[in-house]
Homo-oligomer: A and B are copies of this chain.
């Protein structure tokens, strides 16, 4: 491996979270972005071609080394690491709405889900999946919520645009006027 690829590997191994391309570039300011990109490619290919227990994934605007899925069961059985808990259905529904409508207020989310979401919002906030991104214009200037980089990490998304656009979903929402029955 080239020295730059080795440096990247060391830095990525030292972090539990994805490292952004900018942060990787700061590791070796003398190298060009093109050199960085090719070192990233080199490392990824090395893991894939050479056959490693880990792989390089592009997540949340950066890069992260993760174990390959085929070893997860054996590692968990040997109790060397355990998977994080799944999110509840309520948490996922709330996240889905926030991801697509951000910035969005609590009242608007409740309107779509048809239930109160105080507790869910609090726990999503505590887990760092969402954050207050501003205040709305309406009555009482409600807090507006948006997703965070941790959200992208949790679902291994490179960026929000990786989610299908609303009109690409199978059940594209019709404009309200068309939805009325005649």
Asked whether, in the complex, the Cβ of B26 is within 8 Å of the Cβ of A78, the reply is yes
A126-134, A154-162, A163-171: which one contacts chain B?
A126-134
Task: Give the complex CA separation of A18 and B136 in angstroms.
Answer: 40
Picked from B26, B53, B89, the residue with its CB within 8 Å of the CB of A133 is B89
19 A-B contacts (beta carbon < 8 Å)? A1-B51, A1-B52, A1-B53, A6-B52, A7-B71, A9-B52, A9-B53, A10-B72, A11-B75, A13-B65, A14-B72, A15-B81, A22-B82, A26-B77, A27-B74, A27-B80, A29-B81, A90-B132, A119-B128
Interface of A is mostly: mixed
Asked whether, in the complex, the Cβ of B74 is within 8 Å of the Cβ of A28, the reply is yes
Contacts of A128 in B (CB 8 A): 119
Task: Give the complex CA separation of A125 and B110 in angstroms.
Answer: 13
Asked whether, in the complex, the Cβ of B7 is within 8 Å of the Cβ of A81, the reply is no
